[in-house]
A and B are shown apart, each in its own frame.
Chain A
């Protein structure tokens, strides 16, 4: 059971906007920056968002991140079939001195 919580699944149709939440506590999301990763089966995970809302070069601006208090969100607009993947949030926990991954959210594009 992860200390950082994500919904196990999300879905949308092409063109729609979907959001994935990531809920933590004061010692992690409440005080540290959140990153988001996209993971396709059989491949290495890919960094999507860092520092809560920054996109690395090459990541489409359809992907955006936000943080408020002890929660963070990943939004994907203009959903495409190729966005079907597992999405993970991650954050350092200052009390536990560990990096925490959320349990992951499987995104299905219908």
Chain B
């Protein structure tokens, strides 16, 4: 059974840092592109970042470029999102998402809440 479990969310002050983790199981982690998607309170889904299975390509949304960094450790079946210079508008539930080639975002974690507030 495919499982994606996020951790690392919490309350942080503006300008602060946080590192999200996603533990994956039930599939060959290194074979899949992984994504982070977020949803701010009362807002829609927003794609944040993606990383290919072999790290060959990495992309970030303009809204987080230069502040957030996606990475992965295939040996540990883990995905990460390092978030620096956090802003109030980064407050959201962050989802770890598996992307199946040509088949979209087929598995989502339950999400972890990040709150940026003074």
Question: With contacts defined as CB atoms under 8 Å apart, how many contacts are there between chain A and chain B in the complex?
Answer: 60
Given contacts A35-B105, A56-B106, A86-B44, contact A97 B59 (CB under 8 A): yes
B53-75 vs A, Cβ < 8 Å mask (1 yes, 0 no): 00000010110000000000000
Q: A18 → chain B, closest Cβ, in Å?
A: 19
B35-47 vs A, Cβ < 8 Å mask (1 yes, 0 no): 1010000001111
B50 contacts chain A at the CB level, 8 A cutoff: yes
Residues of A within 8 A of B35 (CB): 99
- Does A37 contact B47, Cβ atoms closer than 8 Å? no
The SS class assigned to the B binding surface is strand
Given contacts A44-B111, A45-B95, A98-B61, contact A37 B106 (CB under 8 A): no
Number of interface residues of A (CB under 8 A): 25
Report the nearest B residue to A54, measured CB to CB.
Answer: B103
- Does A35 contact B44, Cβ atoms closer than 8 Å? no
A67 contacts chain B at the CB level, 8 A cutoff: no
The SS class assigned to the A binding surface is strand
- Please report the C-alpha to C-alpha distance between residue A6 and residue B100 in the assembled complex, in whole angstroms: 24
Report the nearest B residue to A45, measured CB to CB.
Answer: B108
B contacts, CB < 8 Å to A: 35, 37, 44-47, 50, 59, 61-62, 95, 100, 102-106, 108-111
5 contacts between A and B (CB under 8 A): A33-B102, A51-B102, A88-B44, A98-B59, A99-B47
